[in-house]
Chains A and B, each alone.
Chain A
């Protein structure tokens, strides 16, 4: 920019003199720009501009462009219109992946939405050693996800001497196939994912519960409300905003699930756990003939567009109920 060509500021020019340095017209010369702090402003913004420019803004724009291009790393990319989108939509595995991802999201909500709420409401009533409860609940979140998945993979071993099958064997249950059976695989994945993620949600609910005004409970008691009615008429309405947010966050998160299917099952058995993100990964990075980058970006843009529309509709629908 102009910074490099700007003459050095006169040493005698006081900072306060900058207003009359541009005589008459509104034109700003490089010298006034520097003296006004333009150079130091730019210096401080430079890391942000460079890093975001190269590693965030440019790739986002490039994703849109690439989805309309045939890109391989040998020849120049050529525009192919909507071919990538057509190709992806015609892929029979896509609908399998969409169904699997929706199934994962559904199970994750079923396991992972009510449990943290119940646990958090109970934990809020704890009077001694609160920190111990929170620490225990949050501990699984701290275990690195890859370690958690590999550990659970070992727990899930399908033979009678697998860890879970041993434990369930004490109650004369099983042995269950866990990851090896097409209908068992997805619930098993969700079980592990819920273990790894529930702690975070519990802590969010706890933080929200602490900000419920105690006067509301006092007032409810004056009106003769018992414990259940206090929870139903005070606690839950006060948590409404957080409950809405965590729901949409969970949907957005589960729509992009990758780690569990990739490491637990690799998409199997018989494509029962292929998710949309796993498919994107396969398009781009697991093709022996070189990546199909166009198809991968087209699919990721469609997923992003779906999530954007879903969030908009969701917020539109829940706006009237939300507290803020």
Chain B
């Protein structure tokens, strides 16, 4: 997904695991039972409704504690207290630092330095945000980040959708070999790629000029995500083949089939890939640091550490807060998608 070796490899290996388990039967079967990562996620939507209905007699949705357990006062009080404490801890630990960041973004620097935990002893400094956005030019780096995210998103969608379509629906004779090669890259840790990929960007084949200091240096390698290809391919595998056959009988060629049938049917999986792509691009640090040397085109993640020392603390924390707004907003809007994506590992393995 990204080239940063610090990126969480869990997604990659989890799907490698799923692929190892699921690709075995071979692509010859017309419709594979929904055992893979994506079908499990897709059917998730239908399940809660059935579950809610069943939950009334408390037989379906239960964990270690049964309805009878909950009726016992000792359990009710003990577990209730535990849950209140847990919620309190989650608020302090999970939300606390984020709230503190939001507070510092509008606190005068002197107050941050002297009394970091006091609640606005000398008023609010809205000025911090304005200075961060304009004077420190966070606006520019913000825009750079958005460009990087959009380009990486497009590269990933194009490669995953066309590649997944070719491997899953068209199935050329050499498709299996290509698929094996794509899968094999998931077992190579990102750190191995770091140096040779950098040298490839310095002197890309056929292009004759270095891609350093160009957004392409981030966009194009982002497309080489085996995780995406496998995810999309498995989703395409689960689509009913009868629809494709019907379209072929009606005279649709491979391009028409892709554009008018397969793409409209695969909005859910493209949504998952899109959210992952944007978030990964927003988080990426090491790779943009290496290939974007020119400060005017660097994204927030690269720029923030280098302005740390030279910026007024209040303004700097305001810059940090601004950088956090979009990912957190995306999370709040697409919460279900995020949590489903994060739980893929469990859905696959459990």
Contacts and interface: CB of A to CB of B under 8 A. Distances in A.
B46 interface: no
> Shortest 8 CB-CB distances between A and B: which pairs?
A207-B343, A207-B346, A48-B163, A208-B350, A208-B346, A59-B196, A44-B166, A62-B196
Given A56-B185, A59-B197, A249 B14 contact: yes
5 contacts: A52-B226, A122-B82, A131-B335, A136-B91, A227-B64
Contacts of B5: 256, 258, 277
Interface of A: 37-38, 40-42, 44-49, 51-52, 54-60, 62-63, 66, 71, 73, 119, 121-127, 131-148, 150-152, 154-155, 161-163, 166-167, 195, 197, 199-200, 203-212, 214, 217-218, 221, 227, 230-231, 234-235, 238-239, 241-242, 245-246, 248-249, 252-253, 256-259, 263, 277, 280-281, 284-285, 291, 293, 296-297, 300-301, 303-304, 307-308, 324
Contacts of B175: 45
A227 B69 contact: yes
A140 B94 contact: yes
A217 B191 contact: no
Contacts of A152: 97
Contacts of B335: 131, 135
Contacts of B59: 214
Interface in B307-348: 308, 313, 316-317, 320, 323-324, 327-328, 330-332, 335, 338-339, 342-347
B342 A217 contact: no
A146 B301 contact: yes
Nearest to B332: A135
Interface in B87-103: 87, 90-91, 93-95, 97-98, 100-101
A119 B90 CA distance: 9
Contacts of B60: 214
Contacts of B349: 208, 241-242, 245, 324
Interface residues of B, number: 116
Interface string B127-152: 00000000000000000000000000
Given A166-B117, A195-B97, A231-B64, A300 B192 contact: yes
A249 B13 contact: yes
B342 A200 contact: yes
Interface stretch (B26-34, B237-245, B264-272, B280-288): B280-288
Contacts of A231: 64
B247 to A, nearest CB: 14
B64 A40 contact: no
A277 B94 CA distance: 28
A52 to B, nearest CB: 5
